[in-house]
Chains A and B, each alone.
Chain A
Amino acid sequence: MAQARTTSRSDGQGARIGSAARVRGRIHGDGDLLVEGQVEGDLSLRGDLTIAEGGSVKSKAVEAQSVTIGGTLEGDVSASGPVRLVAGAKVRGNLRGSAVAIDDGARFSGQLDCAFDLPAELGGASRNDGSARGRPATRR
């Protein structure tokens, strides 16, 4: 139906790109974003980004709080929160986040950059951090 409504649910701050929609350009703002359609362009959000199954994002830079990917993503992700690739995700690019999870059935090609301290028994002495950070855990 093409009959337009006066009032609608536009749940506050967030945005949703429907499955039939295509956006070419930059998207930024405070709210969350759900992508079910196609987005080509940079994303910079202070909220959470979800790329649903069937959704696709092609971007040079994706910035968001937490990022959940069930669709296709081509580009580098820089998240202040966790990044999660769920089953069915297809991701090519570098991921940076407070934590990164890759579920069984997700496909990923790229680098992970996840800032955390290794436990002491793996050489990540928290006293003199920095020097030990990122050292391979193969040391015995």
Chain B
Amino acid sequence: MASTVIGAGITIEGEVTTDEDVVVAGTLRGKLSAKEGVTIEHGATVEADVTGGSLVVAGALTGNVTAAERVDLQQGSRVIGNVKAARVTIADGAQFKGNVDMDV
């Protein structure tokens, strides 16, 4: 169970910082930094720079992403921004515009 959940009906405009997991199903504008997993669910809108341990995107994300471990862009996701992580997957059906930096 995620420690911080932003439900579908909720909008946060500002900065979210946590040492634990975050699940976004609603709207977040600003900045998101987590130390653990970040999940952006289908139907969620995130307009923010995101840092986290690992990131799963199934919703819409505009902003730059940095993950300590990995980033998975799932089918149906829409991502505009640069992605930096050691492991990155982009699923068939994911929309992506930006640069990928796997630190090679």
Contacts and interface: CB of A to CB of B under 8 A. Distances in A.
B90 interface: no
A113 interface: no
Interface stretch (A10-18, A60-68, A101-109): A10-18
Question: How large, as a class, is the contact surface on chain A?
Answer: 35 or more
B56 A5 contact: yes
Given A4-B56, A20-B19, A14 B72 contact: no
Interface in A47-71: 47
Nearest to B57: A4
Contacts of A2: 35-37, 53-54, 68-69
Question: How large, as a class, is the contact surface on chain B?
Answer: 35 or more
Contact of B39 (A4, A11, A29, A32): A4
B20 A13 contact: no
Given A4-B37, A6-B74, A8-B41, A29 B4 contact: no
Those 3 A-B pairs whose CB atoms lie nearest each other, nearest first: A25-B14, A18-B3, A13-B9
B38 to A, nearest CB: 7
Nearest to A19: B3
26 contacts: A2-B53, A2-B69, A4-B55, A4-B56, A5-B37, A6-B58, A8-B41, A11-B5, A14-B7, A14-B10, A15-B5, A15-B12, A17-B4, A18-B2, A19-B20, A20-B18, A21-B20, A25-B12, A25-B14, A25-B16, A26-B13, A27-B13, A28-B11, A36-B3, A37-B18, A45-B10
Given A4-B55, A21-B20, A31 B37 contact: no
Given A4-B54, A6-B58, A15 B26 contact: yes
B17 A12 contact: no
B23 interface: yes
Nearest to B43: A10
Contacts of B69: 2
B6 interface: yes
A33 B10 contact: yes
A30 interface: yes
Contacts of B23: 8, 10
A12 B7 contact: yes
